Amino acid sequence: MPKLTEFYPELQGRPESKVAFDLERRQPSIPPGFISGVMLKASYSISEQADNYTAGNYTVILVDASDNNVTITLPPAASNPGRYYYIKKIDSSGNKVTVKGDATTETIDGEKEIDINLQYAYVAVLCDGTEWWIIGGEYVKMEDLLRRILDELKTETDKLKEIKKQLDNLE
């Protein structure tokens, strides 16, 4: 089990640390750490959404996309340094949740938008005042990898079926 001082730098004699919080105010909202020049806030609030929504004061946005695809638009990066969001898809439908920046030039880790397709998948993003950064989550671009692998397996299976057909014709 980690020692208390590992999470509270002020107890290690480093009160100027960007992640130093007093014990009474610290809430379990984000893991310890920081992006240079960005102070992290230690509180959160929850909103449930089923329609397109522009993220506001809520830190955790639970999205039910059962009825349709839902787009969550992040607020302007320039006026939101230090702001962070957790955006989670809570339904099992085939509809997707899209997270995108406020303007056409704003990106999330260099991407115009992030799609969340699986139930309980989520993404955690943080703003540095210029753009949004993914700092955690399980939105899993792995689904793209799995789709590619499945496509390759199907292609190889089709090739094997063709070879088997040719061998059967030789007999």
Quick: pLDDT tens for 117-148: 888 889 999 999 999 999 888 765 666 667 77
Distance CA 38, CA 126 (A): 9
State pLDDT tens for residues 5-24.
Answer: 344 444 444 444 333 333 33
Q: Which two tokens stand for residue 128?
A: 């540095």
pTM above 0.85, yes or no: no
**What's the fold here for domain 4-140?**
Jelly Rolls (2.60.120)
**Burial of 122 per CB tally in 10 Å (0-12, 13-18, 19+):** buried
